[in-house]
Amino acid sequence: MKTWKQYILLETKRMLKSLPGVCLGSLLLTACLIGIFTLFQLNSSRQESKSSPVDIGIVAKKDEPFIDWMITTAEKIDNAKYTCRFQRLEEKAADAKLKSGKIDMVFLIPENYIASIINGENKHLTIRFGNSQSTIVSFLFRELSHAASAFILDTEAGIYSMQEYYEKHRLPDKAEDELDLNLQYIKEIVSLEKGIQTEEIATEDTTPLFQQYLVSALVLFLFFRGLACSKILAVQNRAFQDKLAQKGIGYPQQILARGIAFFITALASYLFLFILAGTIMAVSPLSIPNTICTTVRGVWEFAFRCIPILLLSTSFIQLAYEITEDSMGGILFLFFSILAMGLCSGCFYPRSYLPQALQAAAPLFPVWQACRYGLSALQGSFHAPSFLYMAGCLALCFFFMALRRRYCAHIQTHI
Amino acid sequence: MKKFRTCFIIYSKRLFLKPLFVFTLLLLPISVLFLQNCQAKTDAVIQVALYAPDKTSDPITKKLLEEMISLSNTAVTFYKTPSEQKLRQDVSDGKAACGYIFPENLEKNLKVYADKKEPYIVAVRAEDDMRTRIVDEIVLSRLYHPVSFHILSSFIEKKTKNTPDMELLTESFQKYSSDELLFQFEYANGDNNTFLNDSQANYMLLPIRGVISVMILLSCMAGGLLWYSDANNALFSMDSRKRQLCSLFSLLLPGLYASLAGLFTMKITGILEKPANELLSMLFFLSASLSLIHFLHTVLPKKELFLAAIPVIIIGSLLLCPIFISLQTIAPALSSFSCIFPSTWYLTSLHDKRDLLCLFLYSCILFTAAFCYKKLFRHFR
Amino acid sequence: MEQSTTSKELTLEIQHLKKSFHHGKKKVLQDICLEAHKGECIGILGANGCGKSTLLSILAGIQAASSGSILLNGDGLFNKHKKEYISLIGYVPQECPLMEELNAYDNLKLWYCDSPLSLKDELEQGFLAMLGIPEFLKIPVKNMSGGMKKRLSIGCAVAGNPCILLLDEPGAALDLICKERIEVYLKNFKKQGNIILIATHEEREINFCDRLFVLKNGILEDFQYNGNIHQLAGKLAESERSQ
């Protein structure tokens, strides 16, 4: 027992020796995360509406007829007020703004566009996005383009049907009535939402998206830190392990000792992170509204409540390195597994966006349970099922590590 | 040449004898294929619930609902609920972003709407945000078909002061109706955006290219660790002529094989657009990653500091580069930091030759910086 | 059972020890029989890969034998009271079992924390002082020379005040001064009535041994060394050919 305790102390000392390097990495990472958080906060306070509209640049020839009228009409559509903001631009200016991110997309209006709609030629309007990969926003905007096409084409169908009807029945004032019908259709499109009666209901999930992402960021941070820990968690040379085993500290005890030492080391840098967060909160007006993190004391309470998440992350990281026994393999395996778990747990995209199969599997992942627990900690409450699940994961991690070590020892001495 | 080939084979063998490295490379295409195929027909970014009383609904309502469900895709998918209560429950649970309740007699309600502008359907939602607004427009566009017909028939009735020939009108209207898409999508350089132009494209594949780039970067960093270990074990002391070549292979090969696995993954999932452009971008990106790792290795003398840099670079890449979200509109100031990471340039270089040049310059700058640092500070170490 | 450190009674007996790997396909030790008495130093020679390290690790309790028994003073101690047996053994493997990032003092603390010997006393005037460990007490292991690491390993191994010392190639890659120091220590250890088993290739260590055996075909054969290095080389070559 005495030797085991001494071993724990020495392992902790060994791991703490590498702490400055890991701390430096944590410091930089924390600075990045706090920077993102600060900007999110500032951005959200500047917004007047709940959702941020998409900025669209309209590019057309200077003498292109009806473009300004088209923009004004589109702006009158109630839903468009929430989703889009239009501005007319020159092509070069639009490309520059698109590249710098000042606008999200550009509509390239072809020559005589309105005329082509009227005469049924239906020239295609090109929507130009930035050069980076498509995002969910652009993906959803594609659906709006289908809706817009439907409005235009159904209106055309109405006008052509009217023309055909007038021709067949030889009715007078065809041109005037055509204009009348056009205006009626346009008026109708602009006020279509009057046909919908909206009913708002209470939702069970009232957690703001921002809080979800904040907790996800913390959980991912605790897990991804393991990428820096290959050296301190590298398994000691076989001769040393055997000697410890000979002395009575079996392989499971060695794993437990390393786990305790690693947790203590991780706790030191975890506290360092919250000292930083607390200091920033004390000197700036930053806070997370509707949570316990509105004061420095609240931040520390949150830190204390999240210690089980830290424990889970350290055991998972240790499991990765114990199983792989190779720093390169451990790093790649850790990255892949955390990324996969994070994706399925809604850390990157909201969980509701994921396929049903993944949504159903998400609660099985420790990252999801850690996020769930973290969210309740943010509200100052305790989510027992997540806590129990994490405790179970912790036990499983140690079980697998012991099994792996036993297997290695068995291979070595196998008859 | 022989020396080059021998080193290449030995270092490759060394890598492939690490089972977990091979396993992770294989896992990449397998997991992406799984992600692509685990999506059921009813899975989408936004789920919308629909309800209409089955037995008493008029034909228009039934046809409309069937049409909306058949037009479901990976962006927005519609499904029917057996009751209004279930619809409200799904919206409350978050299973559906919003829901629409259709009346028993939609045709009658549409006529009333045409005259008096009274609502004819009920939209149930928990939150009023961009998603629900987009869905509103989509639903309205579907409803606009019968609405536009009613406007036409009412208009003709008013003008002729007679009940119009509905059969003729209906026939004409159906004849001129179309489902054509009047918009096309492209990148800023004019390249066709094949992803958005395909209505059945899987949105889960959106971040894959970015994730592959981070994986390649991480593989290069893992190679950097091998380099540190080899230096510690004095592997290069045996033959200083081979030192440069050996150190190059330590860094290059993990990234190279990860790149090949990445390209293979993109090919089998169909997101590989223009092979020549992709290869060129990948090559430049690999070079940029190597330059970054080489620079870090030169500047950071200790393995611990290099290890500490790994999560910073990886998490920085995942958050700041436009892999999952684009920070340009949310936090433009932060997005300028994303230039530090080669993944940012890689993701835009595919459709912008200027960014390809930027990747090249990135490599040159970092290699030059490492060289200058070595020359200047060699004496002080 | 109380520790048999009384010199008069110390006898280590190995009876028909066998060890094989890969489900019996590779027989490393076929029928090892050996008897060591108090104050004896026994040398085990053999070609590389013949099973010397395996034998020592079995005696140290790290690996299990396929069959056979190990008796201490006539008692089947190994089989019945393994813990007590282990506490009498000091084992120095070929690779140094040390924590690389920590210094010598920390490594010693680990093994001396529950030792009957006082670390402080040993450093001042005991075995550790004899090995010269106080000279490099605060140096991290990763910065030590091979000789320092080996001396430290021996120092860690004797923390439990063992009466049987198992050494696997203790002199490998050491300079003459180091070897001299270790030899002095071993002489002293032997004088106290303890047993030493050394697996070695070094002539100096061979000369130090009271009895020699060559491990050949998994069996220990008596070997009388007459100081002729060529005779020794020939015997080892014979052992290698028979593998």
Cα four-point dihedral sign B72, B76, B79, B84: negative
**Chain segment C129-156, per-residue pLDDT in tens:** 888 899 999 998 888 888 888 889 889 8
Distance CA(C72)–CA(C207), nearest Å, equals: 26
Tokens of A14: 């060994």
Q: Residues A265-282, buried b or exposed e (16+ Cβ, 10 A)?
A: bbeebbebbbeebbebbe
Determine contact: B144 vs chain A, CB below 8 A.
yes
Q: Which is higher by pLDDT, C191 or A327?
A: C191
pLDDT interval class at A50 (50, 70, 90): very low
Chain A residues with beta carbon closer than 8 angstroms to that of B348: 130-132
pLDDT value at A374 more than 90: yes
Tokens of A249: 């500290």
Closest CA to B145 of A149, A86, C12: A149
Residues B120, A138 contacting (CB under 8 angstroms)? no
C-alpha neighbours within 13 Å on the C-beta side of residue A132 = 26
Residues B139, A193 contacting (CB under 8 angstroms)? no
Q: Which is higher by pLDDT, B194 or B361?
A: B361
Beta strands in A253-356 (DSSP E): none
Chain A residues with beta carbon closer than 8 angstroms to that of C57: 242
For chain C, which residues make up each domain, given as ranges? 10-88+163-172+192-243, 91-162
Distance from CA of A345 to the nearest CA of B (A): 14
- Segment 63-92 of chain B within 8 Å of chain A by CB: 73, 75-76, 88, 91-92
Which are the contacts of B377, defined by CB distance < 8 A and separation ≥ 6? none
If you ran DSSP here, which 8-state letter would residue A164 be given?
Answer: H
If you ran DSSP here, which 8-state letter would residue C93 be given?
Answer: -
Tokens of A411: 């291979």
Closest CA to B335 of B354, B351, B348, B350: B348
Mean pLDDT over A149-174 rounds to 88
**Chain segment A116-158, per-residue pLDDT in tens:** 877 777 788 888 887 776 677 777 788 888 888 888 899 999 9
If you ran DSSP here, which 8-state letter would residue B42 be given?
Answer: T
What residues in chain C have per-residue pLDDT under 50?
Answer: 1-7
pLDDT value at B284 more than 90: yes
In order of start, what are the domains of chain B with their CATH numbers?
A: 46-176 (3.40.1710), 201-380 (no CATH)
Say how many C-beta atoms besides its own lie within 10 A of residue C177's C-beta: 10
Distance from CA of A32 to the nearest CA of B (A): 7
pLDDT value at A202 more than 80: no
Tokens of C111: 């093994």
Query: For residue B7, which amino acid is it?
Result: C
Which three-class secondary structure state does DSSP give residue A151? helix
pLDDT at residue C235 in the model: 67
Distance CA(A396)–CA(C61), nearest Å, equals: 29
Subunit partners of chain A (3 or more CB pairs within 8 A):
B, C
Distance from CA of B248 to the nearest CA of A (A): 17
Distance CA(A359)–CA(B304), nearest Å, equals: 38
Q: Which is higher by pLDDT, B212 or B40?
A: B212
**Chain segment B63-116, per-residue pLDDT in tens:** 888 888 888 888 888 999 999 999 999 888 888 888 999 888 888 888 777 777
pLDDT at residue A305 in the model: 93
Distance CA(A226)–CA(A22), nearest Å, equals: 10
Which are the contacts of B91, defined by CB distance < 8 A and separation ≥ 6? A201, A203, B49, B97, B98, B99, B124, B125, B126
pLDDT value at B371 more than 70: yes
- Chain centre distance of CA B14: 34
- End-to-end, the C-alpha distance of chain C in Å comes to 40
- Per the document, the length of chain A is 415
Q: Do A165 and B129 touch (CB under 8 A)?
A: no
pLDDT interval class at A30 (50, 70, 90): low
pLDDT at residue C7 in the model: 46
Closest CA to A331 of B217, B162, B166, B107: B217
Contacts across the A-B interface (CB distance below 8 Å): 414
Q: Residues B321-359, buried b or exposed e (16+ Cβ, 10 A)?
A: bbbbbbbbbbbeebbebbeebbbbbbbbbbbbeebbebb
Residues C97, C159 contacting (CB under 8 angstroms)? no
- Per the document, the length of chain C is 243
Distance CA(A309)–CA(A287), nearest Å, equals: 22
Chain B residues with beta carbon closer than 8 angstroms to that of A138: 185, 196
pLDDT at residue B239 in the model: 56
Say how many C-beta atoms besides its own lie within 10 A of residue B183's C-beta: 19
**Chain segment B207-227, per-residue pLDDT in tens:** 888 899 999 999 998 888 888
Determine contact: B168 vs chain A, CB below 8 A.
yes
Closest CA to B213 of B31, B342, B61: B342
Chain B residues with beta carbon closer than 8 angstroms to that of A124: 182-184
Which of B39, B206, B309 minimises the CB distance to A133?
B206
Tokens of A181: 């019908």
If you ran DSSP here, which 8-state letter would residue B192 be given?
Answer: B
pLDDT at residue A34 in the model: 64
Distance CA(B214)–CA(B205), nearest Å, equals: 15
Residues B199, B44 contacting (CB under 8 angstroms)? no
Name the residue in chain A with its Cα closest to that of B212: A336
Distance CA(A258)–CA(A317), nearest Å, equals: 12
Query: For residue C20, which amino acid is it?
Result: S
pLDDT at residue A103 in the model: 83
Cα four-point dihedral sign A360, A366, A367, A370: positive
CATH number attached to the domain at C10-88+163-172+192-243: 3.40.50.300
Mean pLDDT over B372-376 rounds to 86
- Chain centre distance of CA C8: 21
pLDDT value at B238 more than 60: no
User: pTM of this prediction?
Assistant: 0.81
Which of B39, B130, B181 minimises the CB distance to A149?
B181
Tokens of B210: 């970015």
Distance CA(C24)–CA(C66), nearest Å, equals: 9
Say how many C-beta atoms besides its own lie within 10 A of residue A42's C-beta: 12
- What top-level class would CATH report for the domain A54-193? alpha beta
**Chain segment B141-170, per-residue pLDDT in tens:** 888 888 888 889 888 888 888 888 888 888
Q: Do A201 and B151 touch (CB under 8 A)?
A: no
Residues C185, C112 contacting (CB under 8 angstroms)? no
Cα four-point dihedral sign A147, A151, A154, A156: negative
Determine contact: A357 vs chain B, CB below 8 A.
yes
Q: List the beta bridge partners of residue B121.
A: A196
Closest CA to A321 of A15, A7, A30, A4: A15
Residue located via tokens 């640049």? A57
pLDDT value at A19 more than 60: yes
Which phi and psi (to 5°) does residue C32 adopt?
A: -90, 125
Helices A238-247 + A251-283 axis angle, to 10: 110
Which three-class secondary structure state does DSSP give residue C116? coil
Which are the contacts of A300, defined by CB distance < 8 A and separation ≥ 6? A274, A278
Which are the contacts of A285, defined by CB distance < 8 A and separation ≥ 6? none
Q: 3-state DSSP helix/strand/coil percent for chain C, to nearest 5?
A: 40, 25, 35
Which of A136, A145, A358 minimises the CB distance to B45?
A136
* DSSP character string of C136-195: GTTSBGGGS-HHHHHHHHHHHHGGG--SEEEEESTTTT--HHHHHHHHHHHHHHHHTT-E
CATH 3.40.1710 range(s) for chain A read 54-193
Tokens of B101: 């309740």
Closest CA to B159 of A171, A168, A161: A171
For chain A, the average pLDDT equals 82
Residues A208, A216 contacting (CB under 8 angstroms)? no
Distance from CA of B118 to the nearest CA of A (A): 6
